[in-house]
Amino acid sequence: MVETPYYIALAGILFSIGAVGFLMRRSVIQMFLCVELMLNSANLVLVAFARAWGNLEAQTAVFIILTLAAAEVAIGLGIIVAIFRKRVSTNVDELSSLKG
Amino acid sequence: MIVFVLLSLLAVAGALGTILWKNALYSALSLVGTLLALACIFVTLEAQFLASVQVIVYAGAIMVLFLFVIMLLNAQYPDQHEDPLPWLAPVAIAGGIVLAGALAYTAFLFKAPKALETAAKALQGGTPGPVGETLFTKFLLPFEAVSLLLIIAVVGAVALVKREPEGKQVRETLEERATHTPEEVVA
């Protein structure tokens, strides 16, 4: 069995990649994909610790987080579509105004 | 260990693909690879139910939604224009390497609270039965809250993308009227 720290380290690396991508990319959709990546690395940490402690509650929490992510994506993509109709752009630099 | 190394290489490669492709479509497909690798890692972590949910909900439903929107908006190619923050990318990469190093170092400070074999046995393989039992006893309130959240999300998504019907003017609010027509008030 692979020890828990390796999984946590992998999750840390994935989280860092997601954070770097969020800063580097200027397309809203790609930034959103990076957020999903970071969310998944957090899930990996929870599942790894669930095995370390022999406790199923963390896995249940991950299940709820998955549902939450689905809701978040539905709303987020809805916002992106609404913005795209008004501005015809998915570039964050051009979306600097809060007023519709 | 070999399985873990292979799967983590796959996950990291997918993650790098997600942030390095200029084309958003390729980015999304790389992320699917990462999510599938994570699902396999979940199996090795005694979380079989979560692994299947990860494939169905994440790699399936959520990523299909992403691909739908990318293709619908025809937004796979980035807009060509001047980068207002040219120094951000190198700083982000340097910061990301430091962050990854710090997180990996911290991970190895973790002391296992009990022997891995006995702890893993307590999970009963993470099959739907035991997970569902926890979900409907200790996590009943979050479960109900999430169901409410999903309804709000569905209604919100529909409200966000709904078009205004033709010919129907957006009504001014009282506040807008008060701030927009000071001359009439004076006259």
- Residues B153-173, mean pLDDT to the nearest whole number: 74
Are the C-beta atoms of residues A48 and A4 closer than 8 Å to each other? yes
Residue B40 makes CB contacts below 8 A (sequence gap 6+) with B7, B51
How confident is the model at residue B123, as a pLDDT? 85
pTM: 0.86
Q: Which residue has the tokens 């549902």?
A: A67
The nearest alpha carbon in chain B to A72 belongs to B153
The ipTM is 0.90
**A6 contacts on B by Cβ (under 8 Å):** 4, 8, 107
Per residue in B75-127, pLDDT (tens digit) is 777 666 777 778 888 999 999 999 999 999 999 998 888 888 888 888 888 89
B102 CB neighbour count, 10 Å cutoff? 12
Q: What angle do CA A53, B9, A72 make, to 5 degrees?
A: 65
CA-to-CA separations, A51 to B6, B111, B114, B118, B149, in angstroms, rounded = 20, 13, 10, 10, 29
- Among B8-17, B164-173, B178-187, the range scoring the smallest mean pLDDT is B178-187
| Chain position carrying tokens 């199996």 | B43
Task: Give A20 to chain B, closest Cα distance, Å.
Answer: 5
**CA–CA gap between residue A60 and residue A49 (Å, rounded):** 12
Contact B126 A20 (CB under 8 A): no
Give φ, ψ of B21 to 5 degrees. -65, 135
Of B95, B96, B126, nearest to A59 by CB-CB distance is B126
- Give SS3 for A1: coil
pLDDT at B62: 93
How large a percentage of chain A has pLDDT more than 90? 64
In whole angstroms, how large is the CA radius of gyration of chain B?
25
* Closest by CA position to B8, among listed A39, A43, A6, A3: A6
pLDDT given at position B15: 95
C-alpha distances in Å from residue A39, one per residue of B23, B73, B88: 22, 25, 23
Residue A40 has pLDDT above 80, yes or no: yes
Structure confidence at residue A21 (pLDDT): 93
Token pair recorded at residue B4: 């873990």
Both structure tokens of B95: 């910061």
- What is the interface size between A and B, counted as CB pairs within 8 Å? 269
> Would you call B38 helix, strand, or coil by DSSP?
helix
Question: 3-state DSSP call for residue A96?
Answer: coil
Residue of chain A with shortest Cα separation from B27: A30
| Closest chain B residue by Cα to residue A24 | B89
Task: Please choose, from the candidates B158, B154, B122, the residue with its C-alpha nearest in 3D space to the C-alpha of residue B46.
Answer: B122
In the structure encoding, which two tokens stand for residue B75, read together?
């937004």
pLDDT tens-digit readout, A70-96? 999 999 998 888 888 877 677 777 776
- Contact between A73 and B66 (Cβ < 8 Å): yes
Judging contacts by C-beta atoms under 8 Å, the chain B residues touching residue A55 are: 122-123
